[in-house]
Structure 1
């Protein structure tokens, strides 16, 4: 097994190697702003997770809301990864990418029952997160279809309160305190509960948080006789800068695998352990390339204004997220000057503050790290600006996987009326 520190170096320096040899060429060929995804990094993350849980029957269900580009989805399928969707539209994308209905799970979050029906009609397994929808499911389908239940374990996890989902005030899942009501509906409609699910949150550093939530799941599982799957969600912490802490996957694999095998032994048969990583699989694979529009010398510091902003990468403004920013036009020069990096939107649009970079000029190409997850999927046409093109770089070849938008895309669904 490759040691933990070595894997971190592979991910950090692998992407830098791609920058030094190909990124400027990609920027020249496709223009900026441009999303670039390294498929080999995605493959390495899949393999690391599998290796950590090789002692149990583990299945990866990619939480595709992180990045729904259809070619990224197709790569996941090629790598043997199944998929978790959160809307009928994501389900349709997964089917279009070649996934079979049996490989797709729909995890609902307060959706209308028509969305449950849409997924059921395609043969997709649904995961229900509230008692009202569970009752409607029972009334319509009874025992004719398998179903998942999402619980809220009341275990806090996640680095930012906006991405913590398992605590007592979260909207997600059926509170564990309502176990009696769950069982009452299960018995009333003879529901075929084949799996239990929980998701504690994102950016979880400590494997003990997963184990703590697992104990809640194991205790609840005793009340269901025909389970096939236990789904522990995702939320693994990824590094954003040198020296950053990430989930020790190998340690988590040892801890949770041992406890899971013990539970299966007491339950009387082997179940599948599921994870739904999203950001973990794609965040480090992605870069957002942007050009420097303006170097603005202010009395309180120098600003670099890029030809991108919160319309393309909202995470810095929405979550105060840290993203590494590098001048790849001056990659061989010494970092010597401090800059604040901002976007071109008509808003306060900070991308990064107080970063040391080489002396930067207008026209230089900047690379924004950790842009593979929740970048394009949360992008917008705010200020009526176009969303970027996307490129997938895999096994030494670059592939345009989404065209840059045009004015026709902005106008195509609008209707100009005569007044």
Structure 2
């Protein structure tokens, strides 16, 4: 997308606003499928926790994607978006047996990540096809909050508990159809990924009726100019060859599954905010915008960097600014960042705002959540209206008048 398109959308729909480029989402999906074209049976399950707007789900469904979900609410959104139950994969963590059973009744593929629930579910439902999430004890990911395959992680069944796991499966006579892993996000070293894959292959040999292996995702995308990213094409060449060899060894053609979220939508997203005030102090020039960590928390939560540009003055002289929000706590998006000269009323654009941005937004300070727009075929389509005061009150129940006297 071009800056003039983004400016036009900010004028048309107001700010702050999230904009998603459909063409970029589609190109990322095609890039991944092409990288693994040597695998006969490939399935891409979009990790919808990254961006769960129904319009985005519909866009990916039309491309042939399945869904990776982590809650019963995400399952319901997927069904609402038109996904067939068998195209939805459910990988919860720390949920009750009752929720898993409720989702199972919808016909969705269940993925269980702890021994206790596995034994309970297998005892009650031995014929239900189940996938098992393995923790390979491989440290990967760009931040401890998003590295989920290490030894102290709450996710998955430890690879060292494999004998116990196999015993549960044998005792309950469960129907295990898949093995799954996910080591974390922002993986740079594909050799680490391939090492974890070997652990998954070894675990898979313990189960004779598998239909698929799910390798999760966590592919890194570039966040700034000349930033490094996961070499998807090299990973495709190396893992495809190894996966095909394993299928031959296993004696059955399995489906290879990935569940990318950030990889598909991060670079497609733009967050646009208006500059409310430019404030000069003794040492710093602050650009205060009409947003805060209630709309974009990743820089404060993960220390993530989003490239920020002044699309109202793209060729202006660069100066140093600290870009901050309007929340009643420190909500700094960037410290002393070089940005084209900023004036009050300018529109700033945050790039890589497609993943874990709107989906982590809140009403903190009783602020409204922003609108979302999908840029499709050269037009902006409103896919979520901006919240209003009525939305803040929707589920609140005031005290009866008598109780306040």
TM range (shorter): over 0.9
Partner of 2:65: 81
From 242, 245, 252, the counterpart of 1:262: 245
Of 6, 22, 27, 2:10 maps to 27
Equivalent pair of 1:335/1:356 in contact (CA under 8 Å): no
Residues 1:128 and 1:335: Cα distance change in structure 2 (over 3 Å)? farther
SS in 2 for 1:149: strand
Q: Secondary structure at the match of 2:266?
A: helix
Residue equivalent to 1:99 = 83
1:191-270 alignment runs, 5 A limit: 191-270=174-253
Q: CA deviation at 1:138?
A: 1.0
Equivalent-residue separation in structure 2 for 1:64 and 1:50 (angstroms): 18
Q: Give the structure 2 partner of residue 388 of structure 1.
A: 370
- State yes or no: 1:172 paired with 2:155: yes
Q: Which residue of 1 aligns with 2:323?
A: 341
* Structure 1 residue 289 displacement after superposition: 0.4
Alpha-carbon shift at residue 344 of structure 1 (Å)? 0.6
Give the secondary-structure state (helix, strand or coil) at the position aligned to 1:337: strand
Deviations 1:114-145 (A, max 9, x none): 11011101000110000011011112111x21
Instruction: Indicate the residue corresponding to 1:152 in structure 2.
Output: 135
Q: Deviations over 1:251-271 (max 9, x none)?
A: 000111111111111000111
Structure 2 gaps, min length 5? none
Partner residue in 2 for 1:117:
101
Instruction: Give secondary structure in 2 for the equivalent of 1:95.
Output: helix
SS at match of 1:386: coil
Residues 280-317 of structure 1: per-residue CA shift (max 9 Å, x gap): 10000001100000000011110000001100000000
User: Distance in 2 between the 1:114 and 1:66 partners?
Assistant: 25
Partner of 1:127: 111
- Give, in whole Å, the separation in 1 of the partners of 2:230 and 2:384: 32
Q: Paired residue for 1:274?
A: 257
Equivalence for 1:71: 55
Partner of 1:10: none
Q: How many residue pairs are counted as aligned between the two chains? A: 400
How far apart are the structure 1 equivalents of 2:332 and 2:181? 34
Q: 1:307 aligns with which of 284, 290, 297?
A: 290
**Aligned structure 1 segments of 4 or more residues deviating by more than 4 angstroms:** none
Q: In structure 2, what is the equivalent of residue 139 of structure 1?
A: 123
> 3-state DSSP class of the match of 1:284?
coil
SS at structure 1 position matched to 2:34? helix
Partner Cα separation in structure 1 for residue 341 and residue 52 of structure 2: 36
Contact kept in structure 2, 1:323 and 1:370, CA below 8 Å: yes
Indicate whether 1:290 and 2:273 are aligned.
yes
Residue 163, structure 1, aligned to residue 146, structure 2? yes
Unaligned runs of at least 5 residues, structure 1: 1-17
- C-alpha separation in 2, matches of 1:335 and 1:93: 46
Separation in structure 1 between the aligned mates of residue 141 and residue 161 of structure 2, nearest angstrom: 24
Whole-angstrom CA distance in 1 between matches of 2:350 and 2:144:
24
